[in-house]
Copies of this chain bind each other. A is one copy, B any other.
Amino acid sequence: MQTDIRALLESGAARTDQALQRLLPSSDQVPVSIHRAMRHSVFAGGKRLRPILCMEAARMVAKDGAYPAGVEDLGSAIEMLHTYSLIHDDLPALDNDDLRRGKPTCHVVYGEAIAILAGDALQTLAYSVLGALRCPPQAAIRIVQLIAEATGTVDGMIGGQVLDLEGEHSQPTEASVLAIHRAKTGALIRVSLVSGGVFAGATQQQVAALTTFGSKAGLAFQIIDDVLDMTGDAASLGKTAGKDAASSKATWPAVHGVAASIADAQRLIDEAFTELTIFGECAEPLKAVARYLIERTN
């Protein structure tokens, strides 16, 4: 089975964007400032990789080749959480970034107060969407718990952000880089896959396979992200290249070098793929997405 990866990524992004358009309050909804700020950041050109991973995991578990009805709402909720974390990361008190995906960041356009609240509101809206998911309530409440843990302070997204902030002025080590990646970006990628599986009714064995796959693949994607930050240019990345090095952020290539990092990412993906054996042929589209993510150049 050959997967047309370009078509898959484009239709996955389009499906997500359509759901996000429906789920986000319109720009005319009072109070307009916050809804415009939320939309500004949500529709700033994200590639929707987490929703795509989520929807592909769900389709793989469903085993009939079709996406389970309503899974795009789950993917959209995850994208909202990702976007909220970016808005808050970019604030002057945190990373102080003016540019994200080639566009001015939320606080640059709407001011700090609205940017803080827009981030808050995207987190809130994500749970509103999870509260209305079209799956059995047992699955929905489990997804709420899994996602809240993956984005929390203990080995989750916020915890990773704190470790990253605190480590900015010390020499990164392999252990500190690994801890930051696992929590800051790895946990949300992992839960994108696992929650997609749970949405589609995954068994315990399937959830375990998705969890291990997600941990390894998530780390591989982050390593490639860091390599691209080091070797890429602002135009193709849509952000300031080399910024990590300038702020001596803990990254994998900073510790291991570029060539070894690329080899590590490849090895992690190979290991991750063995986890998907239980899904047989149905795993091909998800594998194609993962392969694309570590072979991309921007």
Which one of B25, B91, B116, B136 lies within 8 Å of A94 (CB-CB)?
A: B116
**Chain A interface mostly helix, strand, loop or mixed?**
helix
Shortest distance between the CB of A248 and any CB in chain B (Å): 17
Q: Is A117 part of the binding interface, using a Cβ–Cβ cutoff of 8 Å?
A: yes
Determine the distance from Cα of A140 to Cα of B146 in the docked complex, in whole angstroms.
14
A114-129, CB < 8 A from B: 114, 116-117, 119-121, 123-125, 127-128
Which one of B31, B123, B146, B153 lies within 8 Å of A159 (CB-CB)?
A: B31
Q: Can you report 24 residue pairs joining A to B where beta carbons are below 8 Å apart?
A: A25-B154, A29-B153, A38-B153, A88-B116, A88-B117, A91-B113, A93-B116, A114-B165, A119-B120, A120-B120, A120-B123, A121-B152, A124-B151, A124-B156, A124-B158, A125-B152, A127-B144, A131-B145, A131-B146, A131-B148, A133-B141, A136-B137, A137-B137, A141-B144
Which residues from chain A sit less than 8 Å from chain B, CB to CB?
25, 29-31, 33-35, 38, 84, 88, 91, 93-94, 111-114, 116-117, 119-121, 123-125, 127-128, 130-133, 136-138, 140-142, 144-149, 151-154, 156, 158-159, 161-163, 165-166
